[in-house]
Structure 1
Amino acid sequence: MHRLRDQDALVPQPRGSLPKACGVVVFTITMSCFGFLGPENGGWLIMAVLALTLGPLLHGIGLLAEEMLFHSNTRYRGKTVLKHMLPACGLWGRTLLTAALAGLLQYLVGHPLSNEGQYWKLLGLCSVTYTLLRSLGVLGPSDVEVSEICEGKKMNVAHGLAWSFYLGYLQLVLPHLEDSIEKFRATHQSSTSFRGRGSHRLLILIPLNSNIANKLDSEDDNIRFYDNLPELEIDRAGVRRRVYKHSVYRVQDNNGQAHDCVAEYATPLVTLYNMSHESSAGFGEPERRHQVLLFFRTLQDILDQSLECRNRYKLILIHDDHGEDPHFLSKTILRHLKQQEKEEFCLTPPPHQEVRDPFRGAGVALPSAPPMNPEPLSREPTLMYSLEEPRPLKEAVENSHY
């Protein structure tokens, strides 16, 4: 059985900067070794930088020709070349600046080759060879680089589905969840529904295989449909009084005790599952699993920043290696409900401490005074709160006597 911390270990984290650090270390070590061979290594370094930057510039010129001839109106709507096409083709910014700086330094320092013809031949061959290999896809970005670019620029399918699920559903219904539960309890006074604080949250189930059923009770015999929360009606996208509602399920543990909760699957997972079964979508099972994990992480990040949804939800990642356990779903839900109950803090009164009277047994007569309840010498800090309604501030009253 997976523990709750395995959920965080399974979700991929954003990629770091380790490749950049490795590149800097390798470059530093190499230049340190070559630095003992002679002072002409600076010219070799400048020539290498110039050759490596001219290649991407030549490749960008080819991309620019394609964009100007065939996609100027459809993709850029006739916008200016300098403002949109050049940056899109890589002919702007760091690459152009690095090439210009390397060319200037090469002109000032000079090339390290004795024959100038060999210098231009080597520079030209490196540039055009890079352009050819890049156009053929040999030097194209790897799958890891493409994934990093898509995640960094929020271009994955999971990012769009997570934002759609939040803006189109969770942001609308979660602020009204507590009121709906209170109304439900008022109409079901004979039951003991929603006894714990953890059951007052919406449990959003996210299975890794994205294969979700229409009914929770059809997957686990320990889960029973109880009733629906009161419907929420919102005017949305031209639809008057669009109805949103949640279902209340009663989950039974091993001791036969029932626990009520509001649970449902994340509906965007249906889209991911159907896309993986459409050949035209180009979306296989490994890509689907990766997108499910990105969907979980993105949705968690969105909800963590949402003040309207705070403490009103719980994301539950459902593993797909449960070994055909028929009650795996109910056990997972109960484990998260118990975990939320353990996270609560109980405000208990401080332990009673006896206070010693310094005058007791000394034979000293004390003057009559109203009884006092001395404070203990030391005690643990506690949080003091009042259950009374807030009152307005009293006006100042003059009570001076002359």
Structure 2
Amino acid sequence: MRLDGQMQSQQQQDALLPRPRGALPRVCATLLVAGATGGLRFLSPQELLGWVALVTLMLTLGPLLHGLCLLPEEVLHHRHTRYRGRGLLGHVAPACGLCSGTLRAAGLAALLLYLAGDPLAKHGDTWKLLVLTAVFYTLLKSLVVLVPSEVEVSDLCEARKTNVAHGLAWSFYLGYLKLVLPHLDGSIEWFRSSHLTNGACWSHRSRRLFILVPLDASISHKLEDEDDNIRFYGNLPNHEMDRAGVRGRVYKHSVYTVLDQNGKGHECVVEYATPLLTLYRMSQESSSGFGEAERRQQVLLFYRTLQDILELSLECRNRYTLILLNDDRTDDPHFLSNAILRHLQQQEKEEFCLGPPAHQQTVCPARCGVGRPPGAPPVRGNWHNNPEPMSREPTLMISLEKPQPLKQPVENTDDYYGGK
């Protein structure tokens, strides 16, 4: 039942995360063009190439003419500030939409129209259609009537990784997680050794940084204010480093005790993803143009981007746990503690069971004391009659002795036959 609940929780989380957009729009457009050209070929096969060339020329002349309207503004007022005096053809013109692809498409369409013949040659109105299409496209584009849709803008920002969420995720990783997570295990080990008498128990999988990512970006500065089953336990030792001109900049983590339904405490290091404070503050400022709907979308992109970054990071591997918190949690006063316990128990079940499972016991080192050291003599007697709990994590023992050459085979056949 617990495994089914974990799978259901994972499915719900996957249902919240937006997937990258695929190629379905391009497939639909290709099918649409194939159907239209097929019908036109059936109705008037002799004029098909002429119509295709004419339409292509009309669709490319509009953007080219609009780019020519953008070019004077960029050259006269922004060439030195935005482009730092770069070349006109190499940087400024492509930025205005006068790229080589559009120019080549227009040139090929004009050549094809010349070779295939004008489908409107009988009326002599082709040039009127081309001119009117180009100038009206430029007018509608300048009046912000022909603008990219929200889906196109979102797809372009995600493809180029220019969303607010992408920048915040990379800043959170490079400016914080990559610096502190490699030292987390040592800090927890020191904290354990200094709090042995307080009854704190740390499992192997709980020695991670639990990063909370709420969908509504609502963050409380004290976790115990949100859930009374969470209690502040202490702070890990400060980690200091020189950073951006600040000598001895301090990085720290807080330890919390999370109580389960039986009142048993589980210690772990928990904190919110601090960049979500920026997203929340931006949604409260009218000048940012950032509403609640955009904030929720950016939180989901932040979670997905940070997850992708950390999965490829060797410095942070097995040192973190991302917890996505749904914003539909008003009816459960212990939603936060249950979410932490669910991830904590799930990770503890992933530990490998060493030794005979029928006789193995798992006892917290902090409550039972330190077990027999590695160099102590072995225990005499039957192991089953004197079971001993595992007192430390299994380690890889490497011998420091120099490798010895293999012994040469000794010929003893004469002695064997002689003895016989």
TM-score bracket, normalised by the shorter chain, equals: 0.7 to 0.9
Q: Deviations over 1:174-209 (max 9, x none)?
A: 001111111111111124535323311100001111
Equivalent in the alignment of 2:14: 8
How far apart are the structure 2 equivalents of 1:348 and 1:389? 21
Letter in structure 1 aligned against 2:397: E
How far apart are the structure 1 equivalents of 2:343 and 2:350? 11
TM superposition score normalised by structure 1: 0.87
Q: Deviations over 1:217-240 (max 9, x none)?
A: 111100000011111111111111
Equivalent in the alignment of 2:248: 241
Equivalent in the alignment of 2:37: 31
Equivalent in the alignment of 1:89: 96
Q: Find 2:344's aligned residue among 321, 337, 342.
A: 337
How far apart are the structure 2 equivalents of 1:390 and 1:18? 58
Please tell me whether residue 168 in structure 1 is matched to residue 175 in structure 2: yes
Equivalent in the alignment of 1:211: 218
Letter in structure 1 aligned against 2:242: D
Instruction: Note the C-alpha offset of 1:92.
Output: 1.1
Instruction: Note the C-alpha offset of 1:248.
Output: 0.5
Q: How does 1:42-81 map to 2 (within 5 A)?
A: 42-81=49-88
Matched-pair contact (CA < 8 Å) for 1:171–1:309: yes
Matched-pair contact (CA < 8 Å) for 1:12–1:293: yes
How far apart are the structure 2 equivalents of 1:213 and 1:32? 61
Equivalent in the alignment of 1:126: 133
Q: Deviations over 1:13-58 (max 9, x none)?
A: 1111111110001111111122112221111011001110111100
Instruction: Note the C-alpha offset of 1:214.
Output: 0.8
Please tell me whether residue 251 in structure 1 is matched to residue 261 in structure 2: no
Equivalent in the alignment of 1:389: 398
RMSD: 2.1
Could you tell me which runs of 5 or more consecutive residues in structure 1 were left unpaired when the two chains were aligned.
Answer: 352-384
How far apart are the structure 1 equivalents of 2:357 and 2:224? 45
**Paired residue secondary structure (2:197):** coil
Instruction: Note the C-alpha offset of 1:114.
Output: 2.5
TM superposition score normalised by structure 2: 0.83
Figure out how many residues of one structure are paired with residues of the other and give that number: 369
How far apart are the structure 2 equivalents of 1:253 and 1:333? 10
How far apart are the structure 2 equivalents of 1:131 and 1:172? 51
How far apart are the structure 1 equivalents of 2:302 and 2:410? 73
Q: How does 1:3-402 map to 2 (within 5 A)?
A: 3-37=9-43, 38-115=45-122, 117-347=124-354, 388-396=397-405, 399=408
In the superposition, relative to structure 1, how do residues 23 and 399 fare at CA in structure 2: closer, same or farther (>3 Å)? closer
Matched-pair contact (CA < 8 Å) for 1:133–1:139: yes
How far apart are the structure 2 equivalents of 1:344 and 1:99? 63
Letter in structure 2 aligned against 1:395: Q
Q: Which is further off, 389-398 or 232-241?
A: 389-398
Letter in structure 2 aligned against 1:287: E
Matched-pair contact (CA < 8 Å) for 2:202–2:268: no
Q: Deviations over 1:249-300 (max 9, x none)?
A: 0000111111111000011111111111111111111111111111111111
How far apart are the structure 2 equivalents of 1:182 and 1:176? 10
Q: Which is further off, 317-326 or 302-311?
A: 317-326
How far apart are the structure 2 equivalents of 1:337 and 1:156? 32
Matched-pair contact (CA < 8 Å) for 1:194–1:261: no
How far apart are the structure 2 equivalents of 1:393 and 1:101? 74
**Paired residue secondary structure (1:139):** coil
How far apart are the structure 2 equivalents of 1:115 and 1:124? 18
In the superposition, relative to structure 1, how do residues 323 and 401 fare at CA in structure 2: closer, same or farther (>3 Å)? closer
State the identity %. 59
